[in-house]
Homo-oligomer: A and B are copies of this chain.
């Protein structure tokens, strides 16, 4: 099997435990014992638990954002017309697919981490994510505005957050919902299945097919 460094094993274990139990509920001893390394290794390699959390996000978020920016840029330079909402969200999905492989567990974990980042009030982490990835997010918002130019800014602002909310909420609690569906409806469903329903929901919601 491929040898992995201590730092990598810590990141792997931490990512899984953070995603399934939350930040405060996951102790360094949990992480290090799952990773099979010494307790002190966390503070040696990362400095603190807080920095470890940031490193976990850094590792999973950076490849995704880099790819997203690159593709948006090359599309803009190729002089094509602006992307539709479905294309924009579809782009995110396909990049997530590419970056996180066919391992839907990994993708699900990533989504749960994103949900936790929004939901849990980890002030330092929030600041870190804002500093590190705020620009990417704003650039993406510009594309959304281009894709829905007829919506007044204030209205668009809220619709984006309605849509964002449905995505984060659903994907963050995906495991629980999956179980609920299994118990109440005797149905199995995978993440791609839900994403396929979610993308048009978000796109139409923002575009304003929802006009009363």
Contact = CB atoms under 8 A, between A and B. Distances in A.
Interface string A105-124: 00000000001101111000
Interface on chain A toward B: helix, strand, loop, or mixed SS?
helix
Interface stretch (A1-9, A40-48, A67-75, A166-174): A166-174
Interface in A124-165: 126, 153-155, 157-159, 161-165
A126 B176 CA distance: 10
Contact of A169 (B121, B153, B166, B212): B166
Contact of A159 (B159, B177, B197): B197
Contacts of A205: 166, 201, 204-205, 210
Interface in A161-206: 161-170, 172-173, 176-177, 181, 185, 187, 189, 194, 197-198, 200-201, 204-205
